[in-house]
Structure 1
Amino acid sequence: MDKFGEMTVFLCVAKEGSFSAAGRRLQLSPSAVSKLIARVEQRLNVRLFERVAGSIHLTQEGLAFRQASQRVVDAMNDAENSVISSDAEISGQLTIHTALTTAKYLLAPLLEEFLERYPRIKLKFMLGTERADFARQSIDVAIHSEQPTELSLVAKPLMPRPWVVAAAPAYLQKFGVPATPDELAQHRCLNFTIRTQWNSWTFREAGALTTIATTGHLSADQGELLRTFAINGLGVVRLARFHIAEDIRRGALVPLLEAFQEPSADVFYALYPQGRVLAPRVRAFLAFLEERLPRN
């Protein structure tokens, strides 16, 4: 087996967490997989896995080798896919997992162009804020904020996600305009019931970061409902800029405390399983997002 094949086997073992599971996936015996890994370790003169009580774990050197191997495998797949399929030939169903607001406000406006470019691709969206079960739900790619902690997933950065604090003109007329972040304590803030860290609003004041833990009368597990509450004058909301940019443009919401906004932002990531050979339709979608999504 050549080095590319060895890397493919190594990445499968790292993903599956055992020689036997990797063997089943690759249709190799566990002993063949174990001998191949031992041969690679001997050639590199390092231990890639720690073997303890019947389980295996990547060593520090193994983690570094996994990252480098993934880049090599991805590059090889890119090279092959670049000559295998033209845009018109790329086909199949592409299943995407993401949140409702991301699908509605960020992705939906781009889909007509994508489908014109790749007319043989069929798109299927599965919506939710929780992490996707790629295998059980047959998901190709997920688009979410926050880098995953799962070693089984690749996280490809797509775009920053800055936040905006805003309220409706009717609310501000009734309750006043907060001049500083501290004044939010006297206002009705709209909160999330999921990922409650989003209810701690960070600002930059006098050169230092300050975090305000917000409280209010209304909360929801969907940003889209919080947006509706805010437009109806029910409180102050903090949502992603892409989500409420059109509401601000038409005057339905007024941005607040802009001088105190922390310039750093969350990041949207495209998530897909580690070690998986990406289908041309998935690579086409990721390349399209890189081309069309804003970089700031």
Structure 2
Amino acid sequence: MDKFAEILVFLSVVEEGSFSAAGRKLLRTPSSVSKIIARLESRLAVRLFDRIAGTIRLTQEGHRFHEHGRKVVDAMTEAENSVTPNELEMTGVLHIHTSLTFAKYQLAPLLPLLLKRHPGLRIEFIIGTDRGDFLKRDIDVAIHSGSPTELSLVGKPLFLRRWIIAAAPSYLKRYGSPAAPEELHRHHCLNFTVRQHWNSWIFIENGVPKTVNIQGLVGADQGELLRTLALVGLGIVRLAEFHIATDIAEGRLVQLLADYPPAAQDMMYVLYPRGRAQAPRVRAFLQFLNEHFAA
């Protein structure tokens, strides 16, 4: 067996989580998969997996080999696709890490267009508000606010996310509307339990930034849940314009403090590991994003 084939077996074991599952995927017996991994470890003179009570776990060396092995396979895939005349023949699984809100309100409506263009492509979402571990979770692309600080990641701006403050008519009927930012301290505000800086609401008043630190009775780590809490009248919320614009247009929520525009506007970035953009599935997705979210 050549080295490239060994890498494919190794990657299958990592992705499937066991020798037996990788064997089923590759139409091999678990023992043959185990022998290939043992031969690979012998040739490299390192242990790639720790075997513990019938389970396997990547060693530090295994994580490094997985990172570079994936690049080898991506490069080979790109080489093959470079001579494929029909772009529709693109196949593979694209792993996208982003928040539930962005996936639901921004990406989901566009997926039919992407999959119509690339019918052989599969999409798998990994939902979370943090950026996630690209290597451990096999993330191809992440979409989050803020440029990356990790040297291993590339970040390209997508669009500026504008925040809006709003509440349900039922809440305003009971507690009234704040006339100025400082009056928010007398109201029930709904706050994030992650990224605490999102709970510092900054307004521009007479050209000067003014910060109101929100201390709410109810919080959540997902913007979609905060939206639901606001809709049932539990408090005032600050969420992205793309998230609640329809609720405001249809009267389910009422925009507040419109005369005090929020200073906080986050740039949304698409993030990916260096070198991963060479993979055809990633390159196609980045091009698609650029068409629909030109910053």
Contact in 1 for aligned 2:162/2:241 (Cα 8 Å): yes
* Corresponding letter in the other structure for 2:181: P
1:126 and 2:126 correspond: yes
Provide Cα deviations, 1:28-48, integer angstroms capped at 9, x if missing partner.
xxxxxxxxxxxxxxxxxxxxx
Q: Which residue is equivalent to 2:218?
A: 218
Aligned to 2:143: 143
Per-residue Cα deviation, 1:194-231 (whole angstroms, up to 9, x for no partner): 11110000110011111110122111111111111100
**C-alpha distance in structure 2 between counterparts of 1:107 and 1:167, whole Å:** 25
After TM superposition, the structure 1 = structure 2 runs for residues 157-196 of structure 1, keeping only pairs within 5 Å, are 157-196=157-196
Alpha-carbon distance change, 106 to 294 in structure 1, aligned in 2, over 3 angstroms = farther
Indicate conservation of the 8 Å contact 1:85/1:280, yes or no: no
Q: Is the 8 A contact 2:276 2:282 kept in 1?
A: no
Q: Is 2:200 aligned against 1:206?
A: no
User: Kindly tell me: are residues 160 and 277 of structure 1, through their superposed partners in 2, closer, same or farther at Cα, counting changes over 3 Å?
Assistant: closer
- Structure 1 stretches lacking a partner, 5+ long: 1-77
| Residue 94 (1) aligns with residue 88 (2) | no
Quick one: which amino acid aligns to residue 176 of structure 1? G
- Could you say what secondary structure the match of 2:135 adopts? helix
Q: Which residue of 2 aligns with 1:238?
A: 238
Matches within 5 A, 1:266-285: 266-285=266-285
2:87 partner amino acid: D
What SS does the aligned partner of 1:137 have? coil
Distance 2:139 2:236 in 1: 36
More moved, 228-237 vs 284-293: 284-293
Tell me the percent identity: 56
CA distance in 2, matches of 1:288, 1:190: 34
Q: Counterpart of 2:281 in 1: which secondary structure? A: helix
Q: Deviations over 1:92-111 (max 9, x none)?
A: 11111111111111110111
User: By how many angstroms is 1:131 displaced?
Assistant: 2.1
Structure 1 length-normalised TM: 0.69
- 2:201 counterpart letter in structure 1: W
1:158-189, Cα deviation, whole Å (9 max, x unpaired): 11111110000111111111111111111111
CA 1:93–1:276 in 2, change beyond 3 Å: closer, same or farther? closer
SS of alignment partner, residue 204 of structure 1: strand
Q: 1:93 to 1:170 in 2, by over 3 A?
A: same
SS in 1 for 2:105: helix
CA distance in 1, matches of 2:179, 2:83: 58
Task: For structure 2, list consecutive stretches of 5 or more residues without a partner in the other structure.
Answer: 1-77
SS of 1:103 mapped into structure 2: helix
Superposition RMSD in Å: 2.3
* CA distance 1:275–1:256, shift in 2 (3 Å): same
How far 1:262 sits from its partner (Å)? Answer: 3.3
Measured in 1, the distance between the counterparts of 2:268 and 2:277 equals 22
